[in-house]
Amino acid sequence: MSSLRSALDELRGDDLLDTPPEQPAEELVELREAAEALEAEWIRRLNAFNARLGWAADASLSLSAWLRARCRMSGAAAADRSRLARALRKMPLTQRAYSDGDLTTAHVRALSAGAEAHPETFARDEEVLASGASTVSAGDTRKLVDYWRQNLDHAEALDHADQIHQRRRLSISRTWQGMVRIDGDLDPEAGEVVFTAIGSLVDESVKSGSPDDNRTPTQRRAVSGPTRRALVIRDKECRFDGCRRPAPWCDAHHIIHWADGGETTLDNLVLLCRSHHRMVHEGRFPSPKP
In a domain, 178, yes or no: yes
The Cα–Cα gap between 53 and 50 comes to: 5
Please give the span between the terminal C-alpha atoms of the chain, in angstroms, as a whole number. 68
Please give the pLDDT value at position 122. Answer: 95
- Contacts of 288 by beta carbon, 8 Å cutoff, 6+ apart: 239, 240, 241, 270, 272
Mean pLDDT of 17-24: 75
Domain of residue 249, residue span: 174-281
Is 250 part of any domain?
yes
In a domain, 205, yes or no: yes
Please count the other Cβ atoms lying within 10 Å of the Cβ belonging to residue 91.
24
Cα separation of 214 and 220, whole Å?
A: 9
Predicted TM-score (pTM) of the model is 0.55
- Is 217 part of a structural domain of the chain? yes
Per-residue pLDDT reduced to its tens digit, 33-47: 999 999 999 999 999
DSSP string, 258-287: GGGT--SSGGGEEEEEHHHHHHHHTTSSPP
Tens digit of pLDDT for each residue in 172-221?
888 877 778 888 887 765 666 666 566 655 555 444 444 555 555 555 44
Q: What pLDDT does residue 221 have?
A: 45
| Cβ contacts of 97 within 8 Å, gap of 6 or more | 103, 130, 131, 133, 134
Higher pLDDT, residue 203 or 52: 52
Asked, for residue 188, whether it belongs to a domain, the answer is yes
The tally of domains found in the chain comes to: 1
Cα–Cα distance for residue pair 118/31, rounded to 1 Å: 35
CATH number at residue 255: 1.10.30
Looking at residue 201, its pLDDT comes to 55
73 in a structural domain: no
Residue 164 is assigned to a structural domain of this protein: no
| 94 assigned to some structural domain | no
